[in-house]
Amino acid sequence: MATPPSVDAKQLLEQLVALTGAVKQLAERTDVPVRPFADTTEADRIRQRVAFGYQVLGTLSGRVSSASGGEFDVPLVGVRRHRGRRIDFFRLPRGVDWVELRSGTKVEVLQICEAPDPAQGDDPAADAERPRNADSDRGSVRSKDFADTEPIGSVLFLRARRGPLVAFGPRLLAMPPDRDVHQPRVTQGEPS
């Protein structure tokens, strides 16, 4: 037969429930006056990142903001990785102009440009010549810090270089090495 929990365990459980409620209130807080993000302090930016993190956690755990369950709390952006360090985005929310790529302690913040036209092929030199159309829900970046063979742990989307955070994308796995480039070719009849 199970013994009733001790007073200490009951108090601990009550404190845990209270803490969970407080964190939820912080993440959903709307009473903070809106002001230009450029005028915010570093402490404000940290608070916004913490609140955004809890909203993302709620989204990932299936919590939705409407009774119908039709939308998530934080927008999810589609991401596709290509060889040559190019990363394409789709379903970008309006006003998103920057992306933050993270893995461990490595962080790279890049301005999003217009996605390349597939008919023109992939030309890295043309990236800077393609400013992003503000009405487009697509975009692209070319990472300088993350090689194709390196995973990217998180993809966060921002309105400006320093924030605020607006949306997130999936983790990106490392691409397998290109066998033609990294492995010597052995043809029939040659010694291996």
Note the pLDDT tens digit of each residue in 40-56.
788 887 887 787 777 77
Asked if residues 178 and 83 have their Cβ atoms less than 8 Å apart, the reply is yes
Tell me the pLDDT band of 32, cut-offs 50, 70 and 90: low
Higher pLDDT, 24 or 182: 24
- At residue 149, what is the residue type? T
Estimate to the nearest angstrom the gap between the alpha carbon of 105 and the chain centroid.
Answer: 15
Higher pLDDT, 152 or 75: 152
Name, in order, each residue with C-beta under 8 angstroms of 93's C-beta and a sequence gap of 6 or more: 75, 77, 137, 157, 166, 167
Q: Where are the domains of the chain?
A: 10-31+41-60, 78-169
pLDDT at residue number 146: 95
pLDDT at residue number 11: 82
Tell me the pLDDT band of 186, cut-offs 50, 70 and 90: very low
pLDDT tens-digit series, residues 93-137: 988 999 999 998 999 999 999 877 666 666 666 555 667 676 788
Buried b (16+ CB within 10 A) or exposed e, 6-21: eeeeeeeeeeeeeeee
Element (H, E) at 51: helix 42-60
